């Protein structure tokens, strides 16, 4: 087994992996030899293109399931699909998430509920569904893609910040409950990553300010991220592979920032 294929034989689900960070993590896991189940929304042909590209580029088996993770029964359907196709789920990356920016007094309650469902409750339902199998086999990895907003706040992001703080708390509880087993639970807390989720926020800022998208992109970084460079999806993928390696066997319940210095301030 080469050092690069440390996950040969493992099966991973990466939620929200048709785009952005999830796709980067799915690629890193596939590169390390894992069989991967992709999930998320998008154009069917584009998803199929990514699925076959990952499988052939990394000589592994990659499947796709389109569960809407705001529905708990579909979270279970995703886990059942992976188990049916591959026989097991060794790694669950809870990554799917969404954002809505508005001050609390203007925040639409229906956006609050859907963000809590996807960004927090789906992590609970997915973890609950995979844990019995992981515990029975004595090995597993839960990797939750939280955010710097799981540790600190920003204005206009009440639902997102509440959900991500919840994810960090849930990560710790699961780590304690599995502490004497081969299952670990950790959170990755990225700063700004240039994905569709953030590009949308940059466009909204440009519309509101009348400044160019390039100016708003620079301003977004300058406000929060001292490096003034975006974190990349493959940097997060590499961290996820590390968390799945034997070197990380005793990393439990941590919220690991990859944030260009955001939370060091």
Q: Which residues ranging from 41 to 70 are in contact with ligand NAD (CB under 6 A)?
A: 41-42, 68-70
Dihedral of CA 257/261/262/265: which sign?
Answer: positive
Binding segment (CB under 6 A) for ligand NAD, from list 4-12, 82-90, 126-134, 185-193? 185-193
Determine, following the binding rule CB under 6 A, whether residue 257 of this chain makes contact with ligand NAD: no
Q: Which residues ranging from 131 to 150 are in contact with ligand NAD (CB under 6 A)?
A: 145, 147
User: Are residues 205 and 219 in contact, defined by beta-carbon separation less than 8 angstroms?
Assistant: yes
User: Are residues 16 and 92 in contact, defined by beta-carbon separation less than 8 angstroms?
Assistant: no
Q: Which residues contact 255 (CB under 8 A, 6 or more apart)?
A: 146, 150, 151, 168, 171, 186, 187, 189
Min CB(20)–ligand NAD separation in Å: 2
Name which of 7 and 187 has its Cβ closer to ligand NAD. 187
For residue 80, the SS3 value is helix
Q: Which residues contact 27 (CB under 8 A, 6 or more apart)?
A: 54, 57, 58, 234, 237
State yes or no: is 160 an active-site residue: yes
Q: Which residues ranging from 111 to 130 are in contact with ligand NAD (CB under 6 A)?
A: 118
Determine, following the binding rule CB under 6 A, whether residue 192 of this chain makes contact with ligand NAD: yes
User: Per-residue contact track with ligand NAD, 1 to 40, x per CB under 6 A?
Assistant: ---------------xxxxxxx----------------xx
Lookup: tokens for 71 = 């529905």
Catalytically active residues are 160
Residues that bind ligand NAD in the complex, under the rule CB under 6 A:
16-22, 39-42, 68-70, 95-98, 118, 145, 147, 190, 192-193, 195-198
């Amino acid at each position: 087994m080469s050092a690069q294929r440390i996950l040969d034989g493992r099966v991973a689900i990466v939620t929200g992996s048709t785009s952005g960070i999830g796709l980067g993590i799915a690629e890193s896991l596939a590169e390390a030899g894992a069989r991967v189940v992709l999930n998320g929304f998008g154009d069917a042909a584009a998803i199929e293109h990514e699925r076959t590209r990952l499988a052939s580029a990394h000589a592994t088996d990659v499947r796709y399931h389109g569960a809407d993770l705001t529905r708990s029964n579909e979270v279970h359907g995703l886990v059942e699909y992976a188990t049916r196709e591959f026989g097991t789920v060794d790694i669950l990356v809870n990554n799917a998430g969404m954002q809505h920016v508005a001050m609390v007094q203007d925040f639409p309650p229906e956006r609050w509920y859907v963000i809590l469902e996807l960004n927090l409750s789906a992590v609970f339902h997915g973890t609950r569904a995979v844990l019995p199998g992981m515990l029975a086999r004595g090995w597993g990895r839960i990797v939750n893609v939280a955010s710097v907003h799981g540790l600190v706040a920003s204005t206009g992001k009440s639902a997102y910040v509440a959900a991500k703080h919840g994810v960090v708390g849930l990560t710790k509880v699961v780590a304690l409950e599995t502490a004497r087993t081969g299952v670990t639970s950790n959170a990755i807390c990225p700063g700004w990553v240039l994905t569709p989720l953030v590009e949308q926020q940059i466009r909204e800022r440009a519309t509101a300010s009348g400044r160019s998208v390039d100016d708003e992109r620079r301003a977004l970084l300058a406000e929060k991220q001292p490096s003034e460079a975006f974190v990349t999806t493959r940097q997060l993928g590499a961290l996820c592979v590390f968390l799945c390696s034997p070197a990380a066997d005793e990393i439990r319940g941590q919220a690991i920032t990859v944030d260009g210095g955001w939370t060091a301030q």
